Amino acid sequence: MMGDVFHVVFYEPRIPPNTGNTIRTTACTGTSLHLVEPLGFQMTDAHLRRAGLDYHDLAHVEIHPDLDTALEALPGRVFAFTGHASTFFTEISYEPGDALLFGPEPDGLPEHVMSHPRITQRLRIPMRPGVRSLNLANSAALATYEAWRQHDYAGGV
């Protein structure tokens, strides 16, 4: 495992299976998951637990009462993922401590979050025109694996 070298941050997530699936992804990659309240579900939600299966004990999940508290807990750069950016997520050289910030379903990050002074840069995941967005868990997985790939899947088998 990478020892929580990278951080995935969900700002006010609403759909339990997306967070459950991301708990599983972060357990498999050694990254941390940070959830910014309010959450659209309880952490005991059956859909969340089913999606995360038995990975909850293997994952590092922190819940923060607000964005500022979450950002204070993150040591490195913070990349905001949005369809309103021109830089592809694969164009960045990720560094240990970087955070990958994603907004709630279905609207994504609000402008006041993307304008926060801790946001290093806005990034996008490319997709075909006319398609609204990828699933939140899929977006987080793509970005997490790209950051980890750039570090030769350190700690992976």
With CA atoms as reference, report the closest residue to 80 among 38, 36, 48, 40: 36
- Has residue 157 been placed in a domain? no
H-type alpha helices, the chain: 16-29, 46-52, 67-72, 111-114, 136-149
pLDDT of residue 141: 97
Q: Is residue 156 part of a domain?
A: no
Average pLDDT over residues 25-47: 88
Any domain includes 67: yes
Whichever domain contains 107, its CATH number is: 3.40.1280.10
**Residue 1 within any structural domain of the chain:** no
Q: What is the pTM of this model?
A: 0.91
The whole-chain average pLDDT of the chain stands at 90
Residue 133 among known ligand-binding residues: yes
**105 assigned to some structural domain:** yes
For residue 138, how far is the Cα from the chain centroid? 10
The answer to whether residue 40 is domain-embedded is yes
* Helices and strands counted in the chain (H then E): 5, 6
Residue 139 labeled ligand binder? no
The pLDDT assigned to 42 comes to 83
What is the residue type of 67? L
Q: In what order do the strands lie in the sheet with 119-123?
A: 60-64, 32-36, 7-11, 99-102, 78-81, 119-123
Residue 92 falls within a domain, yes or no?
yes
The parent domain of residue 14 ranges over 7-149
With beta carbons less than 8 A apart as the criterion, state whether 156 and 131 touch: no
> What is the tens place of the pLDDT at every residue in 130-141?
887 889 999 999
Instruction: Count structural domains, the chain.
Output: 1
Determine, yes or no, domain membership for 90: yes
Q: Is 92 annotated as a binding residue?
A: no
Whole-number Å distance between alpha carbons of 3 and 116? 27
Looking at residue 57, what is its pLDDT? 72
pLDDT digits (tens, 9 = 90+) for 78-120: 999 999 999 999 999 999 999 999 999 888 999 999 999 999 9
